[in-house]
Structure formats: C-alpha cells, structure tokens
A and B are shown apart, each in its own frame.
Chain A
C-alpha cells in the first residue's frame, strides 16, 4: 500500500514503478495518491511521532521513572515530567510541524526545493516582531500573551511580501535572486534584533541566543495551546489549497489554465505561512533547516502530491524537532544546547548538497 517502489534509490533515472493497471478496478498501484495510501503513510508517520515523543519525554538530563511519574503525583518525577518535559516536547512537536509545513508550502509557492521560512528571512522578520512586542509589552507592564505572536505574524508577513516582491525579475520569480534576497533579509533582521537587544536589555525576558539560534526552553501549556491553535488554523488554510499547489508546480500559466486562481493561492500561502511562522518564532526563535529538510526528504520518499506532503511534513517535522531537541538536551548534559544548533549543524551541509544538485539540474523545465 505504501508503495516503497516509488522511492528513487540511488540513480534518479531508473524507472520507479511500471504501474500495474487493471482496467476493471481502475488502480495504478503506487503511481498516484490514493486515499488508502495516504492513510497508510500518515498512520505510520503518526506512530513514529508518538514513539519519538515518548522517548523524548522519558529521557533528559535528569533520570526519571516514567511509571512513578505517572502514578504518584507528589514525586519530583511527576513534577519534572509534567511541568518541564511534556510541555517542552509538545512545543517541539508543534513548532517542528509548523516549520516543515511552512517549508513545503513555500517550496510549492516558489516552485523550488530550496525555499524555507528561515532561509527566506521570514523567520527573522517574525522574531524581530516578537522581540519588539516583548520590548513594548514589557515596558507597558505585560499585556495579553497573544500580542507577541500576532506582532511576529505581522512582521513575518511584511518580510514575506518584501522578499517575494524584490525577488521578482520582470514578473518572474528567480530562484537564486530569491535565495540572495533571503540571505540579505536574514542578516538585516538579525542585525535589528541585536540592535533592539542592545538598546533594551532583553535578558530578563528571553535569552538573545534563543532568538537567534532557536530554542525550546520552558514553555507553558498556554503557550503550547496558543501556538498549536495558530498553527492549525494556518495548516487548514494551506491544506485546502493542496491540489492547487500541485497544479502550481506546472507553472503559473498552466495552473491558471486548469482553473487555479493564482493570486488567491499566493495570498493564502503568504498569510497562512506568516501566521504559522509568527506563532512558532514567538516561542522558539529562529530554527533553521527543519522546513527545508523534512519536505525534501518526504517528497523523495512519498511523491510530490501536496495532499500527502503537507500532512506528512507536519508529522515528520514534529518528530524531527522533538528528536533534535532531545539531542540538544542531553548531548552536553548537564548543560543544554539551543535546538537550533543541532538543526543548523545537520541542515547546513544538507542545504549545500541541495544547492549543488539544483545547480546541476535545470530548475524549472
């Protein structure tokens, strides 16, 4: 059912599956996305995520007894599990899911596997928005917590629109000018974050490293719920456009010929991804490369259909970030690394590999 035969192993030019077809039942096994295949893949990935989360909850700098933690509320094991590990693992899952889904949608938008919220500078814009909100909110003596992610959303959207506009050459989106503009925006937002930090001492609110490197320390359940709600809203908007994203990969003109309203799809992707990035960034800072790696690997393994790729990215991104955060917590125990260090260490080389490969292949045929 899951059609592992689709995975191009090694050489990309080998025929992947000679679809067996029975005209009576009308099945091309594995050559297209059937509801059964989708359910099987997502079920398997959900199981993988569940296992990852259980492992991540069970292990950490302090050894705890899971059974005692679950059965005896008075123990320190219980306290560690429910007030430290669980919210952190949940937040890791939510943020990872958001980053990967956003990556998949942005890649569909620009028709290029090199796109991602972090690389395009959108996360940086969001992080600056969050920091500005924290600064002002802090000065004003607090305020509703949702102000922070909403400001992050606004700045992320501004950043998205700016990058998208500036990367257009004669009305066409140039992949490499897009990457270049993204790099510039990244540096620009990073500098502004440092500037704001220098003017206003933010250390009491959040460590500056956490904003620039990305970290998942000590979220509250309220924060988890808020970010999850925003993420879910954005994901729903993207998922409704999944088939349009498929058509978009044929080119804007061809997609329009097939009934896609290009402007409406773009608008949805801009707003939904900015909302999601804003939510993620406001609690975790800039975590790079998850949105790049996850959709790319899943596309190779599962095919390019966004109706599967988007939800699969959610599950895969969640599992990856939870696992990366587990490593960040235990690798230099008792100290902790920001999780962004782990994703950047793995993602940097991967990005270079992708870039090299894309340079060799012509991008959009």
Chain B
C-alpha cells in the first residue's frame, strides 16, 4: 500500500515509536492487557491505512492517540460497556482566570512542602477521570487543545477539570498528611 504524502520510513520513525504509549493508553480504558494489545494492533494498522489523512506531521502523536481513543470507545460500546466516568461540559461560577489563580496557589503550596510518598498516594486516589487527564497533560505532555481533541472535551471544560483535579490532589494530600501526623503522635505517645 502506497501513501501519497508519507512513506514506510515515516511511519516507522514517527508513528510506530508510540506503540508502547498506545498500549498503556488503551489499557487505561479496557483494563485488560491482551485486549489492549489487540486494540493496539488495530490502531497501528488503522493509522497506516489512514496515514494520508494526517494533515500535519507535527501532530502525529495526538492524531494517533485520537485513533486509539476512538478504538477504545468503540470497543467498549460494542460490548455495552462504558467508562466509569464521562466528561460533560462543565462550568464554574468563578472565571477561568480565577480558577487558574487558584490552581497556581495550590500547586505552589504543594511544591513548597510535598513528600513523594504522599503525593504518589494522593495521585493514586484521585478520581480516575482526573488521573486520565493528568497523565495526558503531564506525562504525555499534550497541549490542552490536543487533549480536548483527543477526548472530545470542550476546551474550557477541560481547563475546569484540570483545576478540579489539582484541588482533589490537594485535599487528598492534606488528608493523608493529617493521618500521618496523627499516627506519628500515637506512636510517640506509645513510646513514652
């Protein structure tokens, strides 16, 4: 099969290199390694077949993740399964700018004092729908626009979701920290 715009070398160097990322991404939805691998095979074949539809070679990663997201959703829909969560359009009484300020303050606070183990636990306990977005944003490093395209979320709603995710991390973090302090106090009392 020949493509007009791209060749096999492009596919192998620019598309196929995300193979492992795609499996992880698919696993986060289907929670089954074998199925994630099967879907990944479909995604790789589909991306090869549709390679000429890639308009901007710089955006190959988000384009590929969009295909993977659609494949995962299609798989779930066909089996009458659905995600535990949905991203509805959301709004906040505060303006986006105020929410961003709030996010800055929370992150600043966490950044000034965080402990790895507690942050890890807090991230793990954060709602799955928030973890999903945080991974795309801070691990895969997609722009907000790309994430909104990959997951079909309204751009402003996405910004609200990210702020909510950060707030939830903060709440869980301080709750865990409080529990740690309490435990430490009890331990000291026992020693005395």
Q: Do A and B come from one complex?
A: no
Which A residues lie at the B interface, using CB under 8 A? none
